[in-house]
Chain A
Amino acid sequence: MADAEVVGDYTQNFEVWIDDFNEWQTRIGFDPSWLGDYRFDIKFDWDTAGSHIEFGDFKGKPKWERRMQIPQQTIRDAIVNMVSVQGDTEFASVEQQNHLLASAPTEYDRKSALRIMCEEQRHGWQMAYLLCTFFGEQGVREAAKLLERNAQEGTRILGSFNEPIDHWLDFFMFTHFIDRDGKYQLKMLSTSSFKPLAASMGPMLKEESFHLGTGANGLRRIVKQGVIPCALVQKYVNKWVSTGLDLFGTDDSASAQWAYVYGVKGRYDEREAQEPAAREHLNEASRELYFQELRDEMRRISKVRKKGEPALYIPSDKFKRGIGKFAGKRYTVHGEDFEGDEVAWEEYLSSVLPSDEDEDRLINEYMEQEWIQYREWKGD
């Protein structure tokens, strides 16, 4: 049968970390009874992890299964960093979202959101397990930090994971755009030279697909219902796309190049790609695939809009970028140079991004109505 494994015994380091995790749940207000029968299993799919390093300068050598097999400290550091960033996002998203359970538009949405939060926590467990089990004191320290940084305090590693998610429109935007970036990151790690990391990704990717489906279908249900005008929905699309694009990292990234050289993190389509990788532009290549996917998805979502509503679109990848060659420059949502002074720019931004008035109208006017398909459930 398959080489899939659910780990039964934990190391002492990880057992100690679990105590910290339980405290973290209480601290952020996640009631463990919400989990029901859900268990945070540590899952490995050794079958799809591959036995030999698939790319980079160590290509063809057996994948590393333990820390001491990793030939250089710099590579160990790179792996610890990748695992830490991944784990950080998993716990951050639960901190951002768990308050929304009380205001779910339907019972199925509540269950879906809860399942997503359970699975994100399991992914965080998986990353903490790798750190505690394979990386000694360094790993234990990093695993502890996963529970110390906090999205509400703005101390999570990546920008999107410090953004407030105040309502369910943001939730669906987040699961559609930001979890989609998560899919890319997981797939890029699924071919990793560090075998326990690669073997962790298959089960995580299986779970992530439901998260993306929840986001896409949530947006489709909102657009189809037609209560929230598409012009307002578009402002939230503009807000989340730029931060999603930033998650892929800087252009011409040296650390992405080194991760590729070490075989730690590949391209999104590493196993399918026919051409050799452009090592200097790895982040740009993944970002472009993500960007294209966003455009295809938005065309599908936009199709169900009511007659007379404007089509939804993905803004230019130049718009409001915080990272890369377009960072800090002024471009319109259509990618044109913005002509005008600081005041005009701020005015422009408030016309294409959600303002305080938009938030107020969304929550106190539109969301008081049947703003999403099937909204009937009003809580327990």
Chain B
Amino acid sequence: MQHVALSSFDKGRCEPFFDRLTDYFHQHHHSEEGDAESYEELLYRVRRPYTTQMLDMIDAWMGLEKRDWREETQREVMLALYAIRYPDTLLIESFTENARSNLPRLSAYLHFTNHTYAIWDEDTRRGLVKLGIDIPATEVADPFVYGAYVSAIELLKDVAPFTCFLEHDVPRQRLFQAALAAYGRE
């Protein structure tokens, strides 16, 4: 999946996006929906040892309904948050169905605990598609689809000119993911 999604990457097609990346970031991150202040607070509030209250805080910011997880599901996800090493996504494959049922939720947990993983978001995926990086839509946490999504954002970080990198202390993945979300919606 990663190979297929990224092998036909055309940097030239990204130039208009790179030219306006900082505007796109502000459009999304500082929108009412983006709630920048709560996002930035979460970066500081979510810390080791992780607790279910921290996951609740992430769910609240994401606008997700309460998790309907059994104790074991909660435990396996919590353990994975400690164990996972960027950019690995294959660990997701070992999760039970319930834990894998909501990719935006799981990706947000990964983002706020590890900072390097990007939040899965349908607008962001559309943004990648507009750049020629064709990643299929999904609700379920497929490790290969999410792996391609994570790698694609990493690739964009690599090839973007330095002028795209705002003087901001949010993770660089967030800069690109938020900008892609605004671009995908446009």
Interface residues of A (CB under 8 A from B): 1-2, 4, 37, 48, 106-109, 111-112, 190, 201-203, 205-206, 209-210, 212-214, 216-218, 373-374, 376-377, 380
Known: A1-B159, A209-B165. 17 other contacts (CB 8 A): A2-B11, A2-B158, A106-B47, A107-B47, A108-B47, A111-B115, A202-B161, A203-B162, A205-B165, A206-B160, A206-B164, A206-B172, A209-B166, A210-B169, A213-B168, A216-B167, A376-B47
Contact B161 A212 (CB under 8 A): no
Q: List 27 A-B contacts (CB under 8 A).
A: A1-B11, A1-B159, A4-B158, A4-B159, A37-B85, A48-B161, A106-B44, A106-B47, A108-B43, A108-B44, A111-B115, A202-B161, A203-B162, A206-B164, A206-B165, A206-B172, A209-B162, A209-B166, A210-B169, A213-B167, A213-B169, A214-B169, A216-B167, A216-B169, A217-B168, A218-B169, A373-B44
Contact A202 B11 (CB under 8 A): no
Q: Which residue of A lies closest to B116 (CB)?
A: A37
Q: What are the 6 A-B residue pairs with the smallest beta carbon separation, nearest first?
A: A374-B44, A205-B162, A107-B47, A209-B165, A213-B169, A213-B168
Contact A37 B162 (CB under 8 A): no
Contact A210 B172 (CB under 8 A): yes
Query: Nearest Cβ distance between residue B50 and chain A, in whole angstroms?
Result: 11
* Chain B residues within 8 Å of chain A by Cβ, number: 26
Q: Which residue of A lies closest to B112 (CB)?
A: A108
Q: Which residue of B lies closest to A216 (CB)?
A: B167
Chain B residues numbered 86-113 whose CB sits less than 8 Å from any CB in chain A: 86
Contact A217 B169 (CB under 8 A): yes
Contact A377 B47 (CB under 8 A): yes
What A residues does B44 contact at CB under 8 A? 106-109, 373-374, 376
Q: Which secondary structure dominates where chain A touches chain B?
A: helix
What A residues does B67 contact at CB under 8 A? none
What B residues does A218 contact at CB under 8 A? 169
Most buried by B among A112, A190, A206, A380: A206
Q: Which of B9, B86, B115, B170 contacts A1 (CB 8 A)?
A: B9
Distance in angstroms between the alpha carbons of A217 and B86 in the assembled complex: 26
Distance in angstroms between the alpha carbons of A112 and B166 in the assembled complex: 15
Chain B residues numbered 40-92 whose CB sits less than 8 Å from any CB in chain A: 40-41, 43-45, 47-48, 85-86
Binary interface encoding of chain B residues 1-24 relative to chain A, with 1 for a CB under 8 A from any of its CBs, else 0: 000000001010000000000000
Query: Nearest Cβ distance between residue A178 and chain B, in whole angstroms?
Result: 14
Q: A37-B85, A107-B47, A377-B47 are in contact. Are A206 and B11 (CB under 8 A)?
A: no
Contact B159 A2 (CB under 8 A): yes
Q: A1-B9, A106-B44 are in contact. Are A209 and B159 (CB under 8 A)?
A: no
What B residues does A213 contact at CB under 8 A? 166-170
What B residues does A212 contact at CB under 8 A? 167
Query: Nearest Cβ distance between residue B181 and chain A, in whole angstroms?
Result: 20
Distance in angstroms between the alpha carbons of A212 and B41 in the assembled complex: 19
Distance in angstroms between the alpha carbons of A179 and B47 in the assembled complex: 27
What B residues does A48 contact at CB under 8 A? 161-162
Distance in angstroms between the alpha carbons of A107 and B112 in the assembled complex: 12
What A residues does B169 contact at CB under 8 A? 112, 210, 213-214, 216-218
What A residues does B11 contact at CB under 8 A? 1-2
Contact A210 B47 (CB under 8 A): no
Q: Which residue of B lies closest to A37 (CB)?
A: B85
Query: Nearest Cβ distance between residue A293 and chain B, in whole angstroms?
Result: 10
What B residues does A214 contact at CB under 8 A? 169
Chain B residues numbered 153-186 whose CB sits less than 8 Å from any CB in chain A: 157-162, 164-170, 172
What B residues does A202 contact at CB under 8 A? 161-162
Query: Nearest Cβ distance between residue B35 and chain A, in whole angstroms?
Result: 16
